[in-house]
């Protein structure tokens, strides 16, 4: 099989969707059916002594591990978390992320150390909302009285579960204590805080907020109006650190390594270090985890002298994420990231090859047209693949996304590289200030383009969810036609 991880990723995505949005009975029946199917397939391959036994065995193991993990998490929610809704208890926890502001509440992401409520599970990730800010920072110990707020019918619950949180609660009578020993959480938080302060010292607030979102995915400082215009312009993905940002930084590291005539092994080690660093700085969000795991699999394969395959690496990354976070499908950023990457890795290369064959044979016109064709194909493939998700979750589609992305493609790369270089060279103030000035200038252009296209009256249109009843079957029919055509071509070639 060309991409052995692909069937496993598709099956786990379906099971994850059922675990989040369907009833418990439907999920467990579907998991049992999937296990029976995988077991029968493995047995048939063994009896017929055909190839693909190892892939079938891996598929069976992955489905088994997923079903057990998701089943245990669902049982724990039904047995302990949901029955506690409205109840109060005293709890102690460690803050794991920088506090965020949500209306009148300060939101703390914590991992519980002790919850004084019968046999309530310990060491859970929770979201605590506090009406009175208390100055707690990542790594600090936070204790007080909590009132559980998570309910099974809460529309916010799928997103909460997708981010790895078991429950949310309101915090009162809070007290903060400094930890006895500084942990890795504190070190990463201090680095994020230093980056934020450096950027805001060098760049005005509005453009500094955009550069922070580009670099570390911190969108807390973007105003509500700016976020709405960005969404209408169809460029929300550039404000979430994902595969695009990793590709830009990875390309820069590759060029530096080649200029220094470093070996491929050294280059792969540098790339792995970059991926781990960026994942940590961005707080291991769903989108950066997906992109980071894809790059990790690619570069580990290179170190082992394996031929890289972007599609298989994406599928393997999805499998690993779902095995670790069985409810990841509830995260919109995860779905958008996977869908856009699938389009870029699978659809875009085929479209580029098709149009490249029809361009002039050589010359400057071919070079220019080839670059434009590549940008258009990549943008269109990502937009088309994320279209059903945008309709399902947002009920709206941007009509100007293709044009905006074409105009911003190189500007995003320039802004990201300039601000990264400025931070690395911060010990040299004159050079760092020059690079920050360049990043500020590029950011002005970004905001001008986004404001123009996002402010058009027809920039965004509302689309009812019922449209998916026509779009999804049409997409499925197109995919079946494409696969059948490819199979017939292979048979003719043989």
**pLDDT tens-digit series, residues 369-427:** 888 888 888 888 888 888 888 888 888 888 888 888 888 888 988 999 999 999 989 88
Q: Please return the burial class of 210, using the count of CB atoms within 10 Å of its CB with bins 0-12, 13-18 and 19+.
A: buried
- Of residues 468 and 448, which shows the higher confidence score? 448
CB neighbours (10 Å) of residue 7?
Answer: 18
Is the CB of residue 363 less than 8 Å from the CB of residue 316?
Answer: no
Residue range 230-235: average pLDDT? Answer: 85
The label of the residue with tokens 């700085």 reads 281
pLDDT tens digit string along 19-39?
888 888 899 999 999 999 888
pLDDT at 475: 76
CA–CA distances in Å: residue 304 to residues 5, 299, 401: 18, 9, 39
CA–CA distances in Å: residue 472 to residues 345, 386, 388: 20, 12, 8
pLDDT higher than threshold 60 for residue 1: no
Average model confidence (pLDDT) across the chain:
83
pLDDT at 228: 85
pLDDT higher than threshold 80 for residue 488: no
CB neighbours (10 Å) of residue 72?
Answer: 11
pLDDT tens digit string along 251-266?
888 888 888 888 878 8
Is the CB of residue 61 less than 8 Å from the CB of residue 43?
Answer: no
Which tokens sit at 178?
A: 């400094």
Please state, in angstroms and rounded to a whole number, the distance separating the CA atoms of residues 113 and 123: 5
Residue range 457-475: average pLDDT? Answer: 82
Please state, in angstroms and rounded to a whole number, the distance separating the CA atoms of residues 231 and 237: 9
pLDDT at 437: 93
- Of residues 28 and 467, which shows the higher confidence score? 28
Q: Please return the burial class of 414, using the count of CB atoms within 10 Å of its CB with bins 0-12, 13-18 and 19+.
A: middle
The percent of residues above 90 in pLDDT, for the chain, comes to 10
Element (H, E) at 54: helix 53-76
pLDDT higher than threshold 80 for residue 311: no
Please state, in angstroms and rounded to a whole number, the distance separating the CA atoms of residues 400 and 369: 21
pLDDT tens digit string along 137-190?
888 888 889 888 877 777 677 877 887 777 888 888 888 888 777 677 777 777
pLDDT higher than threshold 70 for residue 50: no
pLDDT higher than threshold 80 for residue 267: yes
pLDDT at 452: 92
pLDDT at 444: 93
Contacts 24+ apart (CB under 8 A), 276-285: 278/241, 278/245, 278/246, 278/249, 280/188, 281/188, 281/191, 281/192, 281/195, 281/216, 282/216, 282/217, 282/241, 283/97, 283/188, 283/192, 283/217, 285/217, 285/240, 285/241, 285/333
- Of residues 48 and 114, which shows the higher confidence score? 114
CB neighbours (10 Å) of residue 90?
Answer: 13
pLDDT tens digit string along 83-127?
888 888 899 988 887 787 777 888 888 888 888 887 778 788 888
pLDDT at 492: 61
pLDDT at 450: 92
pLDDT at 279: 84
- Strand, coil or helix: 114: strand
pLDDT higher than threshold 70 for residue 489: no
| Beta partners for residue 107, in sequence order | 100, 129
CA–CA distances in Å: residue 405 to residues 258, 351, 479: 29, 18, 26
Element (H, E) at 143: strand 141-148
Which tokens sit at 359?
A: 């361009």
pLDDT at 494: 53
pTM: 0.83
- Of residues 391 and 308, which shows the higher confidence score? 391
Sign of the Cα pseudo-torsion (273, 278, 284, 285, in order):
negative
pLDDT at 442: 93
Is residue 68 very low, low, confident or very high in pLDDT (cuts 50, 70, 90)?
very high
pLDDT higher than threshold 60 for residue 57: yes
Please state, in angstroms and rounded to a whole number, the distance separating the CA atoms of residues 19 and 31: 10
Is residue 2 very low, low, confident or very high in pLDDT (cuts 50, 70, 90)?
low
Neighbouring residues of 23: CB distance < 8 A, sequence distance ≥ 6: none
- Strand, coil or helix: 105: strand
């Amino acid at each position: 099989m060309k991409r052995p991880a692909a069937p496993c990723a598709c099956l786990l995505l379906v099971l994850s969707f059922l675990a989040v949005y369907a009833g418990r009975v439907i999920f467990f029946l579907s998991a049992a059916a999937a296990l029976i199917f995988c077991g029968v397939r493995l047995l048939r391959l063994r009896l017929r002594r055909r190839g693909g036994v190892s892939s079938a065995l891996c598929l069976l193991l992955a489905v088994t591990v997923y079903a057990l993990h998701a089943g245990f998490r669902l049982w724990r929610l039904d047995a302990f978390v949901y029955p506690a809704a409205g109840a109060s208890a005293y709890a102690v926890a460690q803050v794991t992320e920088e506090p965020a502001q949500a209306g009148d509440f300060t939101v703390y992401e914590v991992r519980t150390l002790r919850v004084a409520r019968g046999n309530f599970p310990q060491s859970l990730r929770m979201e605590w909302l506090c009406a009175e800010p208390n100055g707690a920072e990542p790594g600090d110990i936070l204790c007080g009285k909590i009132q559980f707020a998570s309910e099974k019918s809460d529309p916010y619950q799928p997103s909460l579960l997708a981010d790895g949180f078991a429950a949310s609660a309101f915090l009162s009578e809070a007290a903060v204590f400094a930890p006895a020993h500084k942990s890795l959480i504190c070190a990463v938080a201090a680095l994020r805080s230093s980056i934020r302060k450096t950027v805001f010292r060098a760049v005005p607030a509005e453009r500094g907020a955009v550069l922070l979102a580009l670099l570390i995915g911190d969108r807390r400082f973007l105003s509500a109006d700016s976020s709405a215009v960005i969404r209408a312009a169809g460029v929300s993905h550039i404000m979430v650190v994902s595969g695009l940002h990793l590709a830009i930084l990875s390309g820069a590291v590759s060029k530096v390594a080649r200029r220094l005539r470093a070996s491929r092994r050294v280059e792969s080690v540098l790339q792995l270090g970059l991926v781990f660093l960026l994942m940590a700085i961005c707080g291991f969000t769903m989108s950066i985890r997906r992109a980071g795991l894809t790059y990790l699999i690619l570069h580990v394969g290179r170190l082992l002298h394996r031929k890289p395959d972007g599609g298989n690496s994406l599928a393997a990354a999805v499998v690993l994420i779902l095995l670790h976070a069985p409810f990841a499908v509830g995260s919109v950023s995860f779905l958008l990231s996977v869908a856009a990457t699938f389009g870029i890795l699978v659809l875009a290369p085929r479209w580029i090859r098709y149009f490249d064959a029809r361009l002039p044979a050589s010359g400057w016109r071919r070079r220019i047209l080839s670059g434009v064709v590549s940008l258009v194909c990549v943008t269109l493939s990502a937009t088309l693949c994320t279209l059903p998700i945008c309709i399902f979750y947002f009920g709206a589609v941007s009509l100007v996304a293709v044009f905006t992305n074409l105009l911003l493609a190189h500007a995003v790369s320039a802004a990201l590289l300039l601000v990264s270089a400025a931070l690395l060279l911060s010990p040299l103030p004159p050079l760092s200030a020059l690079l920050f000035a360049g990043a500020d200038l590029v950011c002005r252009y970004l905001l001008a383009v986004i404001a123009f296209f996002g402010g058009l009256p027809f920039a965004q249109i509302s689309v009812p969810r019922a449209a998916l009843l026509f779009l999804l079957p049409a997409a499925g029919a197109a995919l079946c036609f494409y696969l059948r055509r490819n199979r017939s071509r292979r048979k003719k070639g043989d």
